[in-house]
Amino acid sequence: MSSVFDTYARYYDLLYRDKDYAAEAEYVASHIRAKAPHALRILELGCGTGAHAEHLARMGYTVHGVDLSESMLMRAEARKATLPPDVAARMSFTLGDARTVRTGGTYDVVISLFHVMSYQATNVDLNDAFETAATHLSAGGLFLFDYWYGPAVLMQKPDVRVRRLEDDEIKVVRIAEPVMYVNDNVVDVNYTVFVEVKVTGQVEQITERHRMRYLFLPELQCYGVEKFKESSSHAWMTDTPLNANTWGGFHLLVRA
């Protein structure tokens, strides 16, 4: 199975090297401790290269990560191989789609971070992802995810952006050109990426399209209504209410 993220994985860790995965994992863990203090087992839908999983495992959680990209999972396994044995023993990864994967197990918590739920661009996709979460949770289990918050996207609107970054091996220039489809509540983020290998000077051009759905509270409250009994939503990385300046939302559901 392949996806846009197989190519993306080449420079993913470089692109997000300044992302504070430890703080994000602690933020998620703080909500788990508050709502389910005895939780131990976590299923992560869309685990990427395993950075959140690593920090959660360091806290004592057992994390099973699922991702659609084989390349991402290879990097996750490589990360795991560098960790202390007790931390690595609490991490595992398998290939799978957030909409369809069934691990055969149940968990105390399902998480889906870095806007994975906003990649579920259709109503069917979203419903299937909610069904996946519900299937893997026992009564009282938590489903936590972040997402693009619709009012802020409409007010601020995505714009063209250019990022330049490098490490000892490669230089990367990434151009993001978004196209909004307001009747579908989606944004196509079209990337053109130039990756230069420093030792040879060889340059590879990569093109990608990331279709992102922005979500609104009334529609979020319609998904999983029969299987989740309570919910809350606020700004990502804070506990402040959502508003038109809040691009990133955070949603918590409790399994009925």
**Which CATH topology does 4-150+214-255 take?**
Rossmann fold (3.40.50)
Q: What is the pLDDT of residue 60?
A: 98
Q: What is the pLDDT of residue 1?
A: 36
Bridge partners (DSSP) of residue 187 are 180, 212
- How far, CA to CA in Å, does 75 sit from each of 21, 57, 82, 171? 16, 17, 11, 19
The second-level CATH assignment, the architecture, of 152-211 is: Single Sheet (2.20)
Q: 82, exposed or middle or buried, with CB in 10 Å at 0-12, 13-18, 19+?
A: exposed
The answer to whether the CB of 44 falls within 8 A of the CB of 21 is: no
Q: Coil, strand, or helix at residue 220?
A: helix
Stated pTM of the model: 0.93
Q: What is the pLDDT of residue 169?
A: 87
Start-end of CATH 3.40.50.150 domains in the chain: 4-150+214-255
Start-end of CATH 2.20.130.10 domains in the chain: 152-211
Q: What is the pLDDT of residue 159?
A: 96
Q: What is the pLDDT of residue 2?
A: 45
Tokens of 240: 């402040």
The answer to whether the CB of 133 falls within 8 A of the CB of 155 is: no
Query: Which ranges of the chain have pLDDT less than 50?
Result: 1-2
